[in-house]
Structure 1
Amino acid sequence: MKGLRSRLAGAGLAVALGLIGAGSAHAAAFTHSTTGVSMNGSYVFEPQSVRQGAFHFWGTLNDTLNDGHAGKQQVRIEGYGYNTYYAPVDADKYLNQYIWAAPQLYVTKARAKVCRDRGTLLPDNCSAEKTYTR
């Protein structure tokens, strides 16, 4: 009887670990680019237990022209406006960000693009917005 209990407990532990692993996320690479700026990195939709199922991205925002304009990465999740992350003028910046919304159980869709910030008088030039889904 004692051997049966220990085997059942071991089987229950294996099932629990399998279910925990089933929610784990795998990273995917992405690239956004437009004239003067690019972003090369990776993203993942985190499980609900990590920052409420956040859209997590990381990578380097590159200023590819020495033209006196800064680069920026804009990311938004479904139902909310853009979060904007700037790189210094004529420099690169490493980004590692989580984006989530407190009222949501987890993020299901995110959109991102990069832009060259040309100031207030000239319009920014941006890459096409890419959509990522869980």
Structure 2
Amino acid sequence: MDHLSLEILEYIEEHSSETYELLLNLGTIPAPSNQEEKRAEFCRDWLVSQGAENVYIDSALNVVYPIGCTRDNPVVVFMAHTDVVFPDMTPLPVEVENGKIKAPGIGDDTANLCALLMCAKYIAGKKITPADCGLLLVANAGEE
């Protein structure tokens, strides 16, 4: 295994508790389809607090973190959606039972959103910019 792969595996292991707590926090934030403002604001603010630059929420409530994007280079996009198909706007119930997290939308797609955010934290912390393309990390609204 190369040095970078080992470094990434170490990052995952070292940040497992933080990732778990982030998942629990995200899981409580209501985000019905087309009403993802609270979760979008949380994601934007969290990314900025982790050192991500130029993060913004667009008019469709997508949280966008552009890295090395120019008019001249191709762009690679990684996304996870923020909405939960659960109509309530109050904090969502999150329960941990026998090591399993139970909450509306926790596996579709909150866990993937959490993974995307933790990848963004790694990229921001290392100030990684791809040499041959731009990168967009997007917490997108409204399902896929």
Larger relative helix fraction: 2
**Higher share of residues assigned strand:** 1
**Which bin holds the TM-score, normalised by the shorter protein?**
under 0.3
Between 1 and 2, higher relative CO (CA 8 Å, sep ≥ 6) is seen in: 2
Larger radius of gyration: 1
